[in-house]
A and B are shown apart, each in its own frame.
Chain A
Amino acid sequence: MANELSKPFEKSALSEEDLYKMNKEKKVQITSFAFMIFLTFLAFIAVATEMVAPAFAVPFILVLAGMQFFLQMFYFMHLKDKGHEWANTFIIAGVVLSTPALIALTFLLGMTKY
């Protein structure tokens, strides 16, 4: 059994339709990569050139980071695909649990001490 599993394959079982879908998906991912680069540029430009008012820059770049998080998770890490229900559950639970922890730590350390 274990031997069977460690044998390479001569060909791929992908059908024409599978290949078509895969190439389409690949295009979507390359587009999302281009979008991520664009978002990164935007964030750096917003801070470097001070085009955006400083008070607005922080929420602005945080939103950009949130968008990149979404793109990475759902497109690069396939969270949007079928069969990722539990993966979604875990990562959403992680984000939900860590948000109050992060806010609490920031306030606790930042406001009590300084």
Chain B
Amino acid sequence: MADHVDMTKGLPSNPEKATLEGRNKFLGFWIFLSGETIMFATFFGAFLGLREGTAGGPTAEELFQLPLVFIMTMLLLTSSLTSVLAMYAMKRNNFKAMMIWMSTTVLLGLAFLGLEIYEFVEYVHHGLGYTTSAFGSSFYTLVGLHGAHVVFGLAWISTLLIRYAKSGITLTNAPKFYVASLYWHFIDVVWVFIFTVVYLMGIGGA
């Protein structure tokens, strides 16, 4: 257990896996991600099955705008990189840099969320309500579920940032930051499939 960690030389090179608790968090989190994969797949399946059912309402081609989706994609991809950089800072025991990179991740995530809310409001104005059509319901459910994950991730990372604002990198909080960054990457992975399957395939016909 933790007593095997040599703490005299300084922060271990993999602080997130230095303790048994850290390793358990890491493993448990991958099990959770496996479940998340299956859950998202079912929502994707439902969307793919129902996307043609516009019931006379607006269609994907009429609504979606590539520039907006492109900007959202770039924001989320970049936030994925900043959380990678935060993990490097963590391994080097550079607390300040880790906090700055993690905060950048939160800011980019907030920008993404703002654009998504703007997008949804816009679509409702164009006549695509949640109950307008099968396409509308499955679109809002799938993309909204991803958005809810972003909200949760932002709340999670912000809580960590506030809770450990002054503590420095410890063997208690290193696994927490590491797992939160894994979660953030996973959100980005899901978005890659959303922009491909929902937006690009919606506009590109087929």
Contacts and interface: CB of A to CB of B under 8 A. Distances in A.
Interface residues on A, range: 35 or more
Given A6-B170, A87-B27, A114 B52 contact: yes
A20 B49 CA distance: 50
A101 B41 contact: yes
B42 interface: yes
B33 interface: yes
Contacts of A33: 77, 80-81, 84
Interface in B160-205: 167-173, 182, 185-186, 188-189, 192-193, 195-197, 200-201, 203-205
Contact of A58 (B41, B77, B201): B201
Interface in B69-117: 70, 73-74, 77, 80-81, 84-85, 88, 91-93, 95
A91 B46 CA distance: 21
Consensus secondary structure, chain B interface: helix
B60 to A, nearest CB: 12
A46 B64 CA distance: 16
Q: Determine which residue in A4, A19, A102 has the highest number of CB atoms from chain B within 10 A of its CB, and name it.
A: A102
B127 interface: no
B21 to A, nearest CB: 8
A51 B186 CA distance: 31
B189 A98 contact: no
A103 B111 CA distance: 33
Contact of A43 (B31, B53, B186, B196): B196
Interface residues of B, number: 70
B7 to A, nearest CB: 7
A110 B52 contact: yes
Nearest to B182: A77
B19 A114 contact: no
Interface in B110-167: 134, 167
A5 B2 CA distance: 8
Given A6-B170, A95-B37, A54 B50 contact: no
B41 A91 contact: no
A91 B80 contact: no
B201 A108 contact: no
Contact of A54 (B48, B81, B204): B204
Interface string A74-100: 001100000100110011011101110
A36 B191 CA distance: 13
Contact of A61 (B48, B66, B204): B204
12 contacts: A5-B172, A19-B92, A26-B88, A33-B77, A36-B77, A37-B74, A50-B204, A98-B37, A98-B42, A101-B45, A105-B46, A114-B52
Interface of B: 2-3, 6-7, 9-13, 17, 19, 26-27, 30-31, 33-38, 40-42, 44-46, 48-50, 52-53, 66, 70, 73-74, 77, 80-81, 84-85, 88, 91-93, 95, 134, 167-173, 182, 185-186, 188-189, 192-193, 195-197, 200-201, 203-206
